[in-house]
Copies of this chain bind each other. A is one copy, B any other.
Amino acid sequence: MAHYKSDQRDILFNLIDVLNITQYEEYGFDESAVKEIINEYDKFVENEIFPTREKSDEEGVKLTETGVKVPENLHKLNKAFYEMGWFALGQPEEIGGAPCPNALSSLCLSLSTGANTAWSMYPGLTKGAMNVIKKVGDEWARKTFIEPMITGQWGGTMNLTEPQAGSDVGAAKTTATPIDGKDGWYKIKGTKIFISSGDSDLYENIVHLVLARTPGAPEGTKGLSLFITPKYRVNDDGSLGESNDVTCTSVEHKMGIHASATCVLNYGDNDNCEGYLIGKEFEGIQNMFIMMNEARLDCGIQGEAQANLAYEMTKQYVNERTQFKTEIIKHPDVKRMMLKMRAMTRGLRSLVLYTSDLFDKAKKDEKYEDVIGLLTPICKSFCSDRGFDVAVDAVQAHGGYGYCTEYGVEQFVRDIKIASIYEGTNGIQAMDFVMRKILKDGGKTMKFLSEDIFKTSNNLDDSFSFERGQFSKALGAAQDAMGFIGKKAKNNEMNYVLQNCKDFLELASHIVVAWRLMESANIALKKLETADSQDEKDFLQTKVDDFRIYCSQFLPHAVAHAKTITSFEDDITTYKI
C-alpha cells in the first residue's frame, strides 16, 4: 500500500523560485523559515492526518440522540491540530494567530486537505465563519466568538441552502423576527439543508452563520441578512448557556466525504432560536460572500490537493507493480498517463499558489483583488473537475486494485466529486466567470491579467518554439470564442452567452494553467544552466517537461472547447429534450 508523500521540491520551487514569498517583509519569513514550516506541517500531515483518512471514511458520521458523532480517530486529530497551532497559521496576531505569507498558509491547507478532506472541513468552515465575524462583526461579536473559535473550542458553519433554494440562494425562506427589548437579536425559524459540519461532537459549541429574511424584506438575495446563531446560547461571561433550539434532524448518506457531517438543521422548531444580526440588514449575501469566496478557493484546493496526493500514491504503485516482466511505469501508455497526471496536478498547484499569493500582492496593488475575483471560479471549477479526472486516472493506473477500497485511491474519486457541486456548482462558477467577472467588468481585469500572460510568453526561451505555437493557437481560439460571446452579449442574445459559459471557463482555465507552467518551465530552464547536482537537474527538467506535456496533451482540447463555442449556431434552448 502506498504511503503519504508530498512533492516538497515542487512546492518550494513554486513558493521560492516562482512566487518569491520571502519578499513580504511584514512576515519576516526567509527561505529557511518557509522550509521549516513546511517540513513541520508535512510531518503532522503524514503522522497525524493521513492515518485517519481511510478509517474515518469507512466509519462515517452517525446521528445519535445527542447529536452527530464523528469517527473516533478525528477527535484526537482535531485537538492536536489546534494545540500545535496549525489552525492559527496565517491568522493575524491580534486574534492570537501566527501570520505568514498567504501562499504558505494555502500550501499547508492543501497538504492537510489532501490527506483527509472530510475532516478538513470542520476547521475549514470554522475558519471561514470566524473570518466573517472578524471582518463584519461588531465588538461584542468579535469579543465573544473569535477566541473560542481560534482555539478550537467552538466550530463554525455557513447556512445558505434550503430545500427550494439551492443555486437560487435568493429563494431562501428562513425568517428572522426582531425580539422586543433585545437589540440586535432575532428569532430565527426555518430549515437549512446540506450544512457541512452542521453538527458534531468535535466542538463544545457551533457558531452557525445563517442567511434569513427579516419582516418585509425584499424578495431575492437583496432581502437576506446574516445572523450568528450558535448551537448553545452564550452567557455574558462567555460560558455556554441553554440550547438555542437548533436541531440536526438528519445527516445525508453520500458518495464520499463520509466523515464530514452534511446536516439538515431545523432552526426554531420551538420558536426559541435566537440569532444575532451581523453586518447590516439586507447585506447578508455580501457578508456571506466573504466566507463563500474563501470556500470556493478551498474547494479548488480540495481538488488540487487530493489530485496531488493521488498522483504521489500512484507514482509509488506504478514504480513497484510489475507486469510483463517490468515495472508498469515503463510501459508507454502508463508513462503517458502519469506524465499527464503530473503536468495537471502540478499545474493545479501552481494555479492555487499563484492565486493565494495575490492576497499579499493585493495589499500593495488593489487591482489584484479583481484578479483574485477572476481566478476564483477558475480555481474552484478547474481544480475540482480536473482534480477529479486525475483521481479517476489514479484508479485506472492501479487496475483492479484501484477499484478496491484498500488501496485508498477510489476514495479520492468519491471525495473530490462534491467539490464540483458545493459552494456554487461549476455551472454557476462558469456564469460568474463570464457574466460578472468578464462582461460586467467590461473585460478590464481580463486585459490586466492578459498583459501578465503576454509578458511571460514574450520571455519564453526559443527552445520552446513548438509550445509557443500551441499556446498561441489556444490564445487565438480563446479570442475568437470571446469575440463570439461578446457579440452575442452586445446583441442581448443572452441564451447564447449562457450556453457557452462552461466551455469558455474550461478554455480560459487551460490557458491560465499553461501560463503558470510556462513561467515555471522558463525559470527551470534558466536554473538548469547553473544547477550542479544531478537530482536538481532532474527535477528542473521535470518542470520543463510538465509544460511540454501540457501543451501537447491538453491545449488541443482547449482549442476544441473554443470550436464548440464558435461552431454551434443555434440557441440551445430551442432544442427539445
Taking Cβ atoms with an 8 Å cutoff, the residues of A that contact B are: 161, 164, 166-168, 171, 193-194, 252-256, 315, 319, 322-325, 329-339, 342, 388, 392, 395-396, 399-400, 402-406, 410, 413-414, 417-418, 420-422, 425-427, 430-431, 466, 470, 495, 498-499, 501-502, 538, 541-542, 545, 548-549, 552-553, 556-557, 559-561, 563-564, 567-570, 572-573, 575-577
Contact = CB atoms under 8 A, between A and B. Distances in A.
Given A168-B324, A335-B577, A396-B426, 6 more contacts: A255-B414, A337-B427, A396-B425, A466-B567, A538-B576, A552-B567
A207 to B, nearest CB: 22
Contacts of A427: 333-334, 337, 396
Contacts of A418: 403
A417 B395 contact: yes
A11 B575 CA distance: 21
Nearest to A400: B194
Contacts of A168: 323-325
29 contacts: A168-B323, A168-B325, A252-B405, A253-B406, A254-B403, A255-B403, A255-B404, A255-B413, A329-B577, A332-B498, A332-B499, A333-B502, A334-B427, A335-B572, A335-B577, A337-B427, A395-B417, A395-B421, A396-B427, A400-B421, A403-B418, A403-B421, A410-B417, A414-B414, A545-B575, A548-B570, A553-B564, A556-B564, A559-B563
A335 B400 contact: no
A253 B404 contact: yes
Contacts of A422: 400
A549 B390 CA distance: 27
A57 to B, nearest CB: 11
Most buried by B among A164, A322, A323, A400: A400
A396 B255 CA distance: 13
A252 B404 contact: yes
Contacts of A413: 255, 413, 417
Nearest to A58: B253
A323 B171 CA distance: 8
Contacts of A553: 564, 568
A556 B425 CA distance: 25
Contacts of A323: 166-168, 171
A166 B400 CA distance: 8
Given A315-B577, A410-B255, A167 B403 contact: no
Given A404-B254, A414-B255, A572 B332 contact: yes
A194 B332 CA distance: 25
Nearest to A494: B332
Q: Is the interface of A mostly helix, strand, loop or mixed?
A: helix
A331 B337 CA distance: 36
Nearest to A257: B403
A438 B138 CA distance: 72
A561 B323 CA distance: 27
A161 B421 contact: no
A403 B322 CA distance: 36
A223 to B, nearest CB: 15
A77 B559 CA distance: 49
A196 to B, nearest CB: 10
Contact of A575 (B324, B337, B339, B557): B339
Contact of A333 (B253, B256, B337, B501): B501
Considering the complex of A and B, which 5 residue pairs feature the smallest CB-CB distances, nearest first?
Answer: A556-B560, A332-B499, A556-B563, A255-B410, A332-B498
B499 A336 contact: yes
Contacts of A576: 538, 541-542, 545
Contacts of A403: 252, 254-256, 417-418, 421
A61 to B, nearest CB: 14
A538 to B, nearest CB: 6
A362 B329 CA distance: 40
Contact of A573 (B335, B417, B501): B335
Contact of A499 (B335, B561, B567): B335
A553 B503 CA distance: 10
A238 to B, nearest CB: 35
Given A333-B427, A405-B254, A567-B466, A399 B167 contact: yes
Nearest to A501: B333
A577 B339 contact: yes
Contacts of A542: 576-577
A186 to B, nearest CB: 27
A430 B161 CA distance: 44
Contacts of A548: 570
A417 B325 CA distance: 27
Nearest to A256: B403
Nearest to A411: B255
A253 B575 contact: no
Contacts of A495: 332
Contact of A431 (B161, B333, B339, B392): B333
A153 to B, nearest CB: 29
